[in-house]
Structure 1
Amino acid sequence: MDANHSETPQSNWHATVADEQQPKTPILVGIAVALGALLWLAPFMGLNSILNPAKLANIFGGPGAKVNNFLALLGTLGAVTSTITTIIIGALSDRTRSRFGRRTPWILWGSILTAAVMVGLGLIKDQSQLPLFIILWCGIQTFINMIVAPLIAVIADQVAPQHRGTISSIYAIGYVIGQYGGPVIGGRFLSTSNPGLVNTGYFILAIMMLLSGPVAAILMREKSSLDMPKEKLDMSGFVKAFIFPIHKVRNFYLALFGKMMINIAVTAFGTYQIFFLTTGMGLGSTAAGKYVSLMGTATMVTAIIFSSTSGMISDKLHTRKWPVAFAALLTAIGTMLPFILRTPSAMIWYGIIAGTGSGIFFAVDQALNLEVLPDPETAAKDLGILNFANTGAQILAPVLGAVLFSMVGKQYMPILPFLAIIALVGAVLVLMINEHKTV
C-alpha cells in the first residue's frame, strides 16, 4: 500500500463524477455556484470599482494623484495576495475532511470573514487609518478566496464532464450579473450631499457577501469527505498539495497562458478606454463618460445572453477550445474597431462584439479549465493556479499598456492593434490544446 495513505479502506469516496453516473444535468449545483458567484462578486466589484475610490476621495479631499496612487498600490498588493492565497487555500480545501465535505467549510467561513473585513473597511474615516485600509484590503483578497477557489472546484467535484458546459453557463450568468451589477449597486451609495452614505454601502454589500456561503452550501449539499484517503504531508504529499503540477500538464499550461493573453487584452482595453475616447477621439470627460456607460451596458447585455447558451452548445459540439478561441477572435475584432473607425460609436460596437466574446468565454473557458486539470483530487489548488491568468492579467496589463504607450510615441490609439494581436495569441494557445487525450 502507498505509504502516503492510511490502512483504512477508502473505497466509498470519489473525487469526481463519471458520465455514466450522472445521466441528468445537475441543475441545482449550477444554481448553487451561480448564486454563490453573484453574491461574492457583486459586493467585491461594488467595493473595488465604486466604493473604495469614493471613500479614498473623501479621505484625501477629492480625486487626484493621491487617490490614483493609493488605488494602484491596493491593486498591486491585492493581486499579489490573491495569487498566493488562492493556491494555498485551494490546496488546503483539496485536503479537507469533514462531514460537510471539502468545500463547504471554506465557503461558509470565507463569507463570514470577508463580510467582517468589509465592515471594517466601512468604518475607516481618515488618512491615519490608511495602513489599516491596506491590511484589510489584503484580508479581503485572502478571505474571499476561501469562497472563490472551493466554489469553482464544486463543478469539478459534482458535475460529470458531459454536463460541465451547461453548468459553467449557469455559473457564468451569476458571474456576469455580479461583475456588471456590483458597480451599479455600489453607485447607489454615492452622494455629493451625504459623503457618509459610502460607508453604508460597505455594510449593505457585506450582508450580500455574508449570504454567499450559506446559499451555495444549502443548494449544493456536498457529500462528506470523511472517507477521503488520508495523506501524510511528507515531501511527496507537500509537492502534490502545494506545488505547480508537473505531470500531464501540456493542456493545463496552454489553457493558463491562453487565458492570460485574452485577459490581458481585455483588461488593458478597460484600463485605457477613457483615454481612447478623450485623447484618441477628442471627446470631453462628460461625453466620454456617456460612451463608457453605453459600452458597458452593451457589453453586459450581450455577455449575459451568450453566457447563458454557449456552455450548452459546447456540450453538444463536444469541444471547449473552439468556442474559447472564437471568443478570443471576437475580442480581437472588437478591439480593432476603435482603431480603424476612430469614432465614439466604435466603442459601443466594441461592447457588442467583445461582449459577445466575453459571454462565450465566461461560459466555456470555465468548462475548459475543469477538463485540463491534471488530478481531480487537487482540483481547487490547480484551479487556483489557473486563476493566475486573471490576477496576472490585472498586474501585467497596466505595465504592458505603459510600455506600449512609450513604444508608439506616447499615443493611446496605436496600442489597440497590439492588444488585438495578444488576444489572437491567446486563441492560438487555446487551439493547441489536445482535447479528448491525456497528454
Structure 2
Amino acid sequence: METIHIQKKQSKDKFPFRLGFGLLLALLGWLVPYLGVNSTLLPAKIQEIAPNNKVEVIALLATVAMIVATVANIIEGAMSDRTVSRFGKRNPWIICGLITTLICFFFLTRVTTVKGIIINWALFQISLNFMVAPLVAFIADMTPPKYRGSISAFWGVGMNLGTPVGTLIASHYITSVSSGIYIFMIFEVIFTISGLLLIGEKSNQNSHTKKLSGKELIESFIFPIHGEIRDFYLAVFGKLLFVSAQFLVTGYQLYIFVDYMGLSSTNATRNLSIMSIILLVMGVAFGILGGPLSDKFHSLKLLVALSTVAMGIGVMLPAIANSPWTMFLYAALSGAAMGLYNSVDQALNVAVLPNPDNTAKDLGIVNLANSIGQIVGPIIASIIISSIGYRLMFPAAGIMCFVGAVLILMIKKVR
C-alpha cells in the first residue's frame, strides 16, 4: 500500500504530458470533422438540395440537433460516470461514439433530401455525445489540481484548432461534399485512436461505483439541483452566450461571403481559407499562453471574462462594412479571444462542479453549452437574417458576449 501511495505521489508531481497530448488529439478527432461538416460541407449540401430555403433549413436542422444533443449529452455523461469495465469507464463510450459517428457520416454522403439530412444529423448528435461528455471528464479524472490550468490549455488549443482546421479542409470540398466527408472520416479514426492510446485509461473493474436509487438516481441523470450550483450555472450560461455569439457568425460564414458580401463561390472559398489561417494562428498563439498564465497567477475568471469581451468586439466588426477585410479583422480578434478562452475554460468548469460523483454528466452539461451554442447561434442568425438582414446579426452577437462576460464575473468560487 505504501509503494502504491508513493507511486501516486510521484505521478502527481510529474506533469502529465501524455494526458495533455492525448486529450488534444482525441478532441481534434471529433471536433475537426464535426465543425468542418457542420459549418461548411453541410450548408454546401443543403445549398445544392434546397437553394431557395437554405437559411430556414439550417435553422430547422439546428433546432432538431439542439433538442437531441441536450438529452443525449446528459444521459450519456451520467452513464459514463457509472460504467465499470476492463477498458475503463470512459473509453467504451468514446469508441462507441467513434463507430456510430462514422456510420452517420457515411450515410450523410448518400442522403439526397432535406428530411434525410435532418434524421441523419439528429442521429449524429446522439453519436457525437458518446464521445464529448466522457472525453472532457478525463481532465477531472486524471489531472492533479495544480496542473488543471495547463492541461485545460491542451484542450483549449484543440478547441482553437477545431474551427479553422475544419473550415480550411472543408473549404476545398465545397463542390465535392462527399469527398470532404470521407477525408474527415479518416481524420477522425486516426486522431481519436491515437489520443486514447496516449491517455491510456486503465481498467476500473476493481473500483466500486456508488449504487443509486430513488431521488439520487434521478438526480444523476438531470441538471444539478443540490450543492453549490450558483457558480456552476453562471459558468454554463456564460459559456452558452459566448459560443452562441461565435456560431451566430460562424454558422453562416459561407453565406455571409456569398449573400452579404456578394462574392462568387470561388472567392468565398479563398476568403474562407484566409480566415481559417488567421483563426488558426491567433487561436493557437493565445491558447498556448492562457493555461500557464492561469496556473501562475491563479486567475481563471478574469481571463475568461476578458476573452468574452474581446469576442464581443470582434463579432461586431463585420457590421461596419460588407467587405472581406472586416471578416479578417473579426477572425484575428475572435481567434485571440477563443485562444485565451478555450485554454482556461475547462479549468474553470472543473472548479465549479457541484458533485464529484457526477463529473462526466456535469461537465457534459457545461460543455452542452458549447454544443447548444453552436446550434442556438445559427437559429438566432436565421431569425435576424430573415426578418432584418445580415448586418444586424453582428451587433446582436456582440451584446450576447458582453452579457456572458458579466455572468462569468459574478462567479464567486473562482478568482
Q: Deviations over 1:317-346 (max 9, x none)?
A: 112111001101211222344445786533
* Cα separation, 1, equivalents of 2:55 and 2:395: 27
Verify the 8 A CA contact 2:62 2:376 in the aligned structure 1: no
Alpha carbons of structure 1 residues 348 and 112: separation in structure 2 relative to 1, 3 Å: same
Verify the 8 A CA contact 2:66 2:376 in the aligned structure 1: no
The residue aligned with 1:298 is: 278
User: 1:35-434, aligned counterparts within 5 Å?
Assistant: 35-58=25-48, 60=49, 64-124=51-111, 126-127=112-113, 131-191=115-175, 197-246=176-225, 247-271=227-251, 284-285=263-264, 291=271, 293-339=273-319, 344-401=324-381, 410=388, 412-434=390-412
* Cα separation, 1, equivalents of 2:199 and 2:359: 17
- Amino acid across the alignment from 1:201: G
Residue correspondences, number: 408
* Cα separation, 2, equivalents of 1:279 and 1:120: 29
Alpha carbons of structure 1 residues 49 and 349: separation in structure 2 relative to 1, 3 Å: closer
Verify the 8 A CA contact 1:269 1:335 in the aligned structure 2: yes
Q: Compare 333-342 and 357-366 and name the one that shifted more.
A: 333-342
**TM-aligned CA deviation for residue 277 of structure 1:** 6.8
Verify the 8 A CA contact 1:93 1:103 in the aligned structure 2: yes
The residue aligned with 1:33 is: 23
Alpha carbons of structure 1 residues 271 and 147: separation in structure 2 relative to 1, 3 Å: closer
* Cα separation, 1, equivalents of 2:39 and 2:206: 43
* Cα separation, 1, equivalents of 2:253 and 2:389: 13
* Cα separation, 1, equivalents of 2:95 and 2:57: 31
* Cα separation, 2, equivalents of 1:114 and 1:402: 27
**TM-aligned CA deviation for residue 261 of structure 1:** 1.7
- Amino acid across the alignment from 2:277: T
TM-score of the aligned structures, taking structure 1 as reference length: 0.83
Verify the 8 A CA contact 1:39 1:178 in the aligned structure 2: no
**TM-aligned CA deviation for residue 376 of structure 1:** 2.0
* Cα separation, 2, equivalents of 1:96 and 1:327: 36
Q: Helix, strand or coil for the counterpart of 2:83?
A: coil
Q: Deviations over 1:144-171 (max 9, x none)?
A: 1111111110111000221111111112
* Cα separation, 1, equivalents of 2:198 and 2:215: 35
Q: Deviations over 1:338-391 (max 9, x none)?
A: 445786533322221221111111111121111111122211101121123223
**TM-aligned CA deviation for residue 180 of structure 1:** 1.7
Verify the 8 A CA contact 2:172 2:269 in the aligned structure 1: no
- Amino acid across the alignment from 1:303: G
- Amino acid across the alignment from 1:252: F
**TM-aligned CA deviation for residue 36 of structure 1:** 0.4
Higher helix fraction: Structure 1 or Structure 2?
Answer: 2
**TM-aligned CA deviation for residue 268 of structure 1:** 2.1
Q: Compare 297-306 and 286-295 and name the one that shifted more.
A: 286-295
CA RMSD of aligned residues (A): 3.1
- Amino acid across the alignment from 1:361: Y
- Amino acid across the alignment from 1:262: F
Verify the 8 A CA contact 1:161 1:371 in the aligned structure 2: no
Q: Which runs of 5+ in 1 are unaligned?
A: 1-12, 192-196
Q: Helix, strand or coil for the counterpart of 1:181?
A: helix
Verify the 8 A CA contact 1:278 1:288 in the aligned structure 2: yes
Q: Deviations over 1:188-244 (max 9, x none)?
A: 4444xxxxx533433332232233443222111113322333333421331332021
* Cα separation, 1, equivalents of 2:75 and 2:51: 36
Verify the 8 A CA contact 1:252 1:373 in the aligned structure 2: yes
Verify the 8 A CA contact 1:111 1:147 in the aligned structure 2: yes
* Cα separation, 2, equivalents of 1:176 and 1:121: 26
Identity among equivalent positions (%) equals: 36
**TM-aligned CA deviation for residue 418 of structure 1:** 3.9
Larger Rg belongs to: 1
**TM-aligned CA deviation for residue 77 of structure 1:** 1.4
Q: Deviations over 1:43-99 (max 9, x none)?
A: 2223223333344455x3xx6124444333322212221121011100000000112
- Amino acid across the alignment from 2:334: A
* Cα separation, 2, equivalents of 1:190 and 1:401: 22
- Amino acid across the alignment from 1:167: I
Verify the 8 A CA contact 1:96 1:102 in the aligned structure 2: yes
Alpha carbons of structure 1 residues 121 and 52: separation in structure 2 relative to 1, 3 Å: same
Alpha carbons of structure 1 residues 71 and 423: separation in structure 2 relative to 1, 3 Å: closer
Q: Which runs of 5+ in 2 are unaligned?
A: none
Q: Compare 179-188 and 146-155 and name the one that shifted more.
A: 179-188
